[in-house]
Structure 1
Amino acid sequence: MHMYCLNLMYASHPLTWVENLFCCIKVFESFRFQVTYNTLCLSCVGFGLHSSFYIYIEYNNRRRMADGQDPKIDELNEELLVIILSYLSVKEAAKTCLVSRRWRYLWQYTTGCFEIYDRDKKSYSRKSPCSFMKLVNQALVLHQGPTLDQFRVGFCYSGSWYMFDHWVKFAIQKEVKLFELDLAADSWQNCGGWSQYDFPDIERLSSGDNDKLKFSRFCSNLKSLTLVNVSVMSSACLCFRRLENLKVTGPLKSMEISRCPLIKGLEVDASNLESFTYIGPHIEIPFRNVDQLSELTIGQGYCFSFICKPDKHASYSSKLRKLKLMVRYEVDCPYNFPVLDNLRELELDIQLYAGRSLHYFTLFTKACPLLSSFIARITYTNILYDEIFASPRQFEHNRGVHKHLKLVKLIGFTGCVSDYELVLHFLEIGGSLEEIILKRTFDHFHQKINGMAFIGEQIKQLQANCPAGVKMVLTFVKLRYGKWV
């Protein structure tokens, strides 16, 4: 009797890992030894993309298989096959039902990631949400596994009698660690408007004794909760009171709260939190014990607080390495700026009237001495004819040279005074600038501004002011699903 060990590094796509496992088993079978799969065991060292999986296979070298008899992977017991398939998403695992009759239902017992999104829909008729709902409900009924690691579902909810309480209950019953319910998975224009869904009182959904046990485990296991276009009423929040003393074995590294207009307060205390997203009204958010926080995305009212009242955010802003600001309309230039001593990447998503100044954001770079990448997406919401060619409001000019800025990317460039002055100023201060990318759009509204601004002449002037060694790239993009692509 002998024991062999296979060491597989899970450093690529899960399907590749499974294929590698089967290939290794085939190698053992090619020795024509009778492999006793009932003694095969799987152990994991580490977690994530760099895990090592050790497969121990015991075989008897005295029992050779008869010539001409092909060994079969199907000799693996079903429990092991389900464990292997659980490293795939449920959608990927379902494809293995075509392997053989025995494999037909194995995917239904997997415990990996259950994700169903309707992102690819190009048009939204009344039948489309209904069809998607049926698809999700059928998939939920088919899944027979006791637990799931992740449950993600999303589509464009434009308002109807549809209810999603049973989706929430499914997440509770499966004791998921990551739950994502995105009811704004497409742009407002494509789905004809968004309507909010009222999040249910999940204690009410867990009335039975077994359901209460599942609910308790759900609360203790939950590591990530994402609700998009979902209204959480105060009555529904009562069930989360017990989460005040929640202890999770795994560290919370990412948190997102968006489109929750009724939220009144939030406290963040997470020593391992690395990424935080909040898009909503201005509220007090005390940040405590967030030494690892390096990525921040903020929008709406809270974004203005970050820009105009930087002293309130000084406790964590100096640690940020990546910052995304979603700014709507014009920002008044404050007297001081946030402290961003470690910031490397600044990303802006801006909506404003054509002709209004963007000069504040060039001054913003003064607070980012280590900034290497500046990306801005600009959407113009109205044409102010008198201001298309007007000079921007006069702010104090940033006369210094930025020593680390290497990339400037502007999406939605029209050549009007707003973005033209922004690009020109970066050419002046970018002492180490290597590349500047200007993306024009095919959007009808932007094309109208392009014609007014004589964009060809503006580009020639920018090229004339472009320092030697700086690469200027001009490309075209268009709106797709409400986003620049």
Structure 2
Amino acid sequence: MGNIKQERARFVEDRISGMPDEILVSILSLVTLKEAGRASVLSRRWQKLWIFVPNLNFDAQERLYYLDDHRCERGLERLYRIERTKYVMWVNGVLKLHRAPTIDQFRVSFDLDVDYRHDLDHWVKFAFEKRVQRLELSFEHVSSNPCPFPPFYRTLSFPRCNSLRALILKFLNVIGEVLEYFICNCPFLERLCVQNSAALVNLKVPGPLLPLKYLEIRHCHKLQNLEISAKNLVSFVYSGPKITMPFRYVPNLVEMSLGGTYCEYSIYQFCEFSSCLSRLETLILELPRIKKLIELPTLSNLKQLELIAFDASDNESLLGLTSLLKAAPILCRLTLKWYQSKGGRKVQKAPKCPHHCLKLVEFVGFTGQIIDVEYAMFLIENAVELEKVIIDPRCPLMVGSPWEYNEIEEIQAARECAKMLGRELSLGDKLVIL
């Protein structure tokens, strides 16, 4: 019996190994670089295939989580230096062996600082020589000596890049002049994302003929001015300080997300640029704290609204958000996320505000306290065509991380409260508890 199983396994392996190189390389492109390298032990047929994969994703996030868990231990800085050296050697070793003529994606994700700027310079040059389509550099956790974007773009050796479609820069010091250079010299650039750059002060996105569709600027705390003129822009994300931000020309904008102190300021200034938002279908507002009353102009095309509040307690109320339903007559999906602390007060009631299009309501961060229960009751009672209520008791900041179920007792208590709410309001199978 054992021999039969071995023969079947060998037959399956031979069928896979007999496929053309292009198909096997495509298979390896679906896994991580380390997994692709391990595939070389399967047979001689696989030994050199990984050096032709078009997706170079150097993600070491799991190791960062490990270092984070041990950040209070003595000797951690020495361990960081060792891990950084190992990481850089890994990337340099792969690039030395890589043989594919082009690459679709080049992604670096680890904690590197200014000491590795020459390695970064080499990596970026490598990526552009390989006509990269998506370039992502993420040096999260760096705080004291952030790495600057390599200055080689100023030299004649940097060509006009016709391949680049997406540029994502996180925890990397990049100035507006560099970004504007890329915007003007990458004629097919569709996505630009910059996060946590301490060097970005001014940025102009010029030219109505630019193909740029997605622009995201987050946590660039020295930014003062952002000027946007982009005919093809469909999605815009900004989270950070209050800045001068003239929307010169964004006729096709359908998705927008605002956060930080700018969001707190902008919700009272929406009328000033409401003409630019006439086609808006999705709006996300990240507020530092709950507002007693938010007034928005009528957004006749708005279908999805997400509200995120970073400071909420039972002494406050979400009922001031009832005007949001009036501002969005065809709204069909509402998501609420908040980070709350316990308090104590009586349940409040808001005047009825029937809404005939809202079909899905999602609560993330539900704890079963008065602040979320009373607003859940308000929405359920006023959404005439409601089809589903999703209640997620996990902390929004932790969703998707290894710590999302750390507070398991609190999560279970919130689930029980959600079940009681469902029974009280006769939700039946409309209620989904995660």
TM-score normalised to the size of structure 1?
0.64
User: What residue number does 1:321 align with?
Assistant: 281
The reply to whether residue 139 of structure 1 matches residue 94 of structure 2 is: yes
1:245: how far off? 4.4
2:258 to 298, 310, 319: 298
| Structure whose residues are more often helix by fraction | 2
1:402: how far off? 0.6
1:377: how far off? 2.0
Q: Is the CA contact (8 Å cut-off) linking 2:253 and 2:277 kept in structure 1?
A: no
Distance 1:272 1:350 in 2: 30
> Structure 1 residues 302 and 446 mapped into 2: Cα distance closer, same or farther (>3 Å)?
farther
What amino acid is the match of 1:229?
F
Residue 216 of structure 1 aligns to a residue in which SS? Answer: coil
- Which of 1 and 2 has greater Rg? 1
1:229 to 143, 153, 171: 171
What amino acid is the match of 1:373?
R
User: What residue number does 2:231 align with?
Assistant: 271
1:444: how far off? 4.7
The reply to whether residue 447 of structure 1 matches residue 376 of structure 2 is: no
Distance 1:198 1:361 in 2: 42
> Structure 1 residues 81 and 376 mapped into 2: Cα distance closer, same or farther (>3 Å)?
closer
1:471 to 415, 430, 434: 430
What amino acid is the match of 2:236?
F
Q: What is the correspondence of 1:15-164 to structure 2 with a 5 Å cutoff?
A: 91=33, 97=40, 101=44, 104-110=47-53, 112-121=54-63, 122-124=65-67, 125=70, 126=76, 127=79, 129-130=83-84, 131-155=86-110, 161-163=115-117, 164=120
1:443: how far off? 5.6
Residue 343 of structure 1 aligns to a residue in which SS? Answer: coil
1:413: how far off? 1.3
Q: What is the correspondence of 1:125-204 to structure 2 with a 5 Å cutoff?
A: 125=70, 126=76, 127=79, 129-130=83-84, 131-155=86-110, 161-163=115-117, 164-184=120-140, 197-203=146-152
1:423: how far off? 0.7
What amino acid is the match of 2:255?
E
Distance 1:456 1:101 in 2: 56
2:391 to 426, 433, 438: 438
Q: Is the CA contact (8 Å cut-off) linking 2:160 and 2:185 kept in structure 1?
A: no
Q: Is the CA contact (8 Å cut-off) linking 1:407 and 1:435 kept in structure 2?
A: yes
Distance 1:379 1:148 in 2: 41
Distance 2:287 2:280 in 1: 18
User: What residue number does 2:368 align with?
Assistant: 415
User: What residue number does 2:217 align with?
Assistant: 257
Q: Is the CA contact (8 Å cut-off) linking 1:181 and 1:227 kept in structure 2?
A: yes
> Structure 1 residues 350 and 165 mapped into 2: Cα distance closer, same or farther (>3 Å)?
farther
RMSD of Structure 2 on Structure 1 (CA): 4.0
User: What residue number does 2:4 align with?
Assistant: none
1:115: how far off? 1.8
1:404: how far off? 1.0
Residue 265 of structure 2 aligns to a residue in which SS? Answer: helix
1:162: how far off? 4.8
Distance 2:111 2:346 in 1: 40
Deviation digits for residues 2-57 of structure 1 (CA, Å, limit 9, x no counterpart): xxxxxxxxxxxxxxxxxxxx99xx9xxxxxxxxxxxxxxxxxxxxxxxxxxxxxxx
> Structure 1 residues 89 and 260 mapped into 2: Cα distance closer, same or farther (>3 Å)?
farther
> Structure 1 residues 433 and 82 mapped into 2: Cα distance closer, same or farther (>3 Å)?
closer
Residue 266 of structure 1 aligns to a residue in which SS? Answer: strand
Distance 1:312 1:319 in 2: 16
1:300: how far off? 0.8
Name structure 2 gaps, 5 residues minimum.
1-13, 71-75, 190-210, 395-404
Deviation digits for residues 153-206 of structure 1 (CA, Å, limit 9, x no counterpart): 22356x78554444434334434232212233xxxxxx6x855724234237x7
Residue 231 of structure 1 aligns to a residue in which SS? Answer: coil
1:430: how far off? 0.8
> Structure 1 residues 73 and 471 mapped into 2: Cα distance closer, same or farther (>3 Å)?
closer
Residue 226 of structure 2 aligns to a residue in which SS? Answer: coil
The reply to whether residue 248 of structure 1 matches residue 187 of structure 2 is: yes
Q: Is the CA contact (8 Å cut-off) linking 2:25 and 2:49 kept in structure 1?
A: no
Residue 366 of structure 1 aligns to a residue in which SS? Answer: helix
1:100: how far off? 5.6
Deviation digits for residues 224-275 of structure 1 (CA, Å, limit 9, x no counterpart): 2222223324xxx444554574461473332222222222222333333222
Q: Is the CA contact (8 Å cut-off) linking 1:255 and 1:277 kept in structure 2?
A: yes
Q: Is the CA contact (8 Å cut-off) linking 2:58 and 2:109 kept in structure 1?
A: yes
Percent identity, please: 28
1:374: how far off? 1.3
1:310: how far off? 0.7
1:432: how far off? 0.8
What amino acid is the match of 1:447?
E
Q: Is the CA contact (8 Å cut-off) linking 1:196 and 1:229 kept in structure 2?
A: no
Distance 2:145 2:383 in 1: 45
What amino acid is the match of 1:183?
F
Residue 160 of structure 2 aligns to a residue in which SS? Answer: helix
Distance 1:362 1:162 in 2: 51
1:456: how far off? 6.3
Q: Is the CA contact (8 Å cut-off) linking 2:28 and 2:36 kept in structure 1?
A: yes
1:431: how far off? 0.7
User: What residue number does 2:309 align with?
Assistant: 350
Number of matched pairs: 373
1:403: how far off? 0.5
